[in-house]
Amino acid sequence: MAHSLDILAPVSGNVIELSSVSDPVFSQKMMGDGFGIKPTNGEIHAPVSGTVTLIAKTKHAIGITTDDGAEILVHLGIDTVSLDGLPFDLKIKIHDEVTAGQLIGNMNLKLIQAADKDTTVMVIITNTDDYLKSITVKTGETVGGQIAATATSKAYAENTDPTESDNYQQLAAAIIKNVGGSENIDSVIHCITRLRFYLKNDRLPDDNAIRKLDGIINIARASGQYQVVIGSKVTEIYNAVLEKLGPSFNNTPTATLDDKNKKTIFEKIKDSFNTFIGVLTGSMIPIIGLLGGSGIMKGILGALTGYGILDKASGTYLLFSSIADSLYYFLPIILGFTAAKKLGSNPITIAVVGSVLTYPSLIAASDNSIQLTVLRIPTHIMSYSSSVFPIILAAWVGSYLEKWLKKIIPSLIRSIFLPIIEVIILSLLIYVGVGPIVLSLSQFLSHGIESIYFVNPALTGFLVSGLYQVAVVFGLHWAIIPIVVNDLAISGHSYLNAMISVTMVAQGAAAMAVALKTRDKKYRDLSWAATISAFCGVTEPAIYGITLRYKRIFFLSNIGSAIGGLLTGIFKVDAYALSGSLIGFPAFINPSLGVTSNLLGYVVAHITTLVITFVMVMIWGYQAEDNANPIVS
C-alpha cells in the first residue's frame, strides 16, 4: 500500500489540470506537477499541513513543506509579481506551522483583474522528481479546504499484490517487534539478501524468535549491524519495514556530539569504514547482476570469434558486443545514478555528470593526449569511461553540494538552475580538481594488486580464497568488489576475480552435500536453493542458511576455497569480466584469443574445489541429527 497525501483546494473555484494553465512554465510542469484553480472567492486556505518555508516578498507565492517531505508551492495568479503584493493579505509568516484547510490569507480578485492579470491559482509539488510517484486531480467545481488532488509518494510506493503485500507487512511487523521495536531502530539498509539494522541497543533483539519466522533464513551480527538474512524478497520486506516505521522515521544513523566525542579514534575509523562499505554496497548491488551477465556475454562472444564461428566485422557481433560492453563503457552514468540514490543526492543530476565523463569529444581528446585549458587552468583530459571511484566521489560531494545550493537558490527557480549548476561544479571538480588524482590512485590500486599477485600467485590465491567468504560474513567484501570492477576497467582482466570465483563453488558444494544428507524436507529445499544460488554467484543464502549455521561446515568450505585459490594461482587463472562460479565460465574465455589454457585452468580449479569441498562436508561436516541442535555462529 502506497503512502498518499491529500492536497486541498487553497481557494474556491474550478479545478483544472496543470496542462490547461495559460503560463507555459506551469503548464509544461517546469516547476513540478500539480493542478490549477480558477478562483471564485478570494479566501486562501492551506492546502496541506506543514511548515511555511517560503513567502515571496510580493506575497504572490507561498511555500509549505509537509512532514513527509513534500514541498508545496501555492502561486497566486499569473504574473502577479509585478503587482508588488497589493492584492494579497497574508496572515502567516515563515516558520509558522499550518493545518490543512486553515485560513491563511486573502487575495483581491477584482484588483488582479483590473490590472489585466490572470487570477488562476497554481498548486505545485516543486520536488516532484524526488517525492512524487503519481498525482490524481479532481477537476471541476470545488470549495476552498476540500480535497482537490491526491499525491502518491515515491518513498513508500510498494508491491500492490494484496496477498504478497499482506505477507510482507506481517513479516515486517514481526521483525520490528523482535529487534526491540521501532524505538530501538536507529536506521536500516539492505543488500542482496539481508536487512541490515543499526540498533540503539543490540542486546534487545530476540534472535530465536526472528529465526523461527517464516521467510527468515538466519540472523548475523557484523560490522556494527544486526543482519536479518531473507533472500530474494529482501527489497519487498525492506519497503514494508519502512512503511511500518512510518514517514516520521528518520532513516539515518544518529549520534549526539557527546557520543562522537566519547568514541576512540579506532571506533571513529571503524564507523567511517562501515559508512564507506555501506556506500559501496548500495552503489554496486543494483548493477552486480547486469555486470555479471555482460561478462558472460563477452566470454561467449570471445569463444565464438576465437573458433571462427562469428566474424568480428559482422553486424551480429557488433550488436551483441555493444550490449556486452555498454555497461562497462558507460559505467560512470549507471554507477552515478545508484551511488546518488544511496548517498541522497539527485540520481539524474549525478548520472548527467557521469555522461560528461563519458562524452565522446572529451574521450577523443584524452586518447589524443590533448592539453586543454579550462578556466585558464591547464588540464590534461583523461578518459573516465569504465571508471568507478571518480563518479562515487562526485555523488558524495553532490549530496552536500545540493543542500548548500538549495539554501542560496530561490525555490521558484531552483528546479531549473540547481541541477545545471551542480553538474558544472562537479564536472569541474573531477576534470580540473581531484579526478586525475582519484583515477591515478585507481590505476595504482589495480597495478598494485597485480604486482602482489605475481610475487607468489599460489600463496596469494590460497590466502585470498580462504578468507574471502569470511569477509562476506562481515560485509567487508564490498570493499573488494569495486577493486575487481576497477581492475577490469583499468587492465581488462582480474586475477582477484578468479580467486573469488572458486569460493562461490565451495559454498555451493557444501550446501549440496547438506541437501543430500539432511532428512528435513524444509532444510533440504533450503539447501538446494542455496546450492543453485551459489553456483550462480550469490553465496549469502548458502552462508547464512547452511554453512555458517554449523561452524565446521563453514570451516571446511573455506579450506576447499583455499585449495581452489591455490590452484588458480598455480595455473594463473584470469577473469575477463565480473562473473564467476559455475555459471560464469564464459568470463574466463579471453575475448581476444578465445578458448585458451586459461579456461582449462578455470575448469581444474573449480571442479577440484567442488569435489574436495563436497567430499569433506559429506564425511566430516554434517550429520542429519545436527538439525536438532544447530550451532549458530
Question: Which residues are catalytic, by number?
Answer: 75
CB 572 within 8 A of CB 455: no
Q: Where do we find the cell 477537476?
A: 139
Q: Where do we find the cell 565464438?
A: 304
Helix (H) or strand (E) holding 65: strand 61-65
Three-state secondary-structure class, residue 497 = helix
C-alpha to C-alpha distance for 401 and 396, rounded to whole angstroms = 9
DSSP category for residue 20: G
Which ranges in 372-480 belong to alpha helices (H)?
A: 389-408, 411-428, 435-455, 457-473
Helix (H) or strand (E) holding 38: strand 33-39
Residue type, 59: K
C-alpha to C-alpha distance for 29 and 43, rounded to whole angstroms = 25
Which strands, in side-by-side order, build the sheet including 185-190?
Answer: 185-190, 194-199, 225-229, 218-222
| Radius of gyration of the chain measured on its C-alpha atoms | 29
C-alpha to C-alpha distance for 467 and 498, rounded to whole angstroms = 14
C-alpha to C-alpha distance for 543 and 633, rounded to whole angstroms = 11
Q: Where do we find the cell 504572490?
A: 60
- Three state DSSP letters for 100-141: CCCEEEEECHHHHHHCCCEEEEEEEECCHHHHEEEEEECCEE
How many CB atoms within 10 Å of residue 618?
16
Q: Phi then psi for 341, rounded to 5 degrees?
A: -60, -40
> What is the distance in angstroms between the CA of the first residue and the CA of the last residue of the chain?
37
Helix (H) or strand (E) holding 219: strand 218-222
Nearest to 15 by CA among 153, 131, 152, 123: 123
How many CB atoms within 10 Å of residue 597?
12
Helix (H) or strand (E) holding 262: helix 257-262
Pairing assessment for the beta strands 50-55 and 218-222 based on DSSP bridges: unpaired
Contacts 24+ apart (CB under 8 A), 522-531: 523/627, 526/217
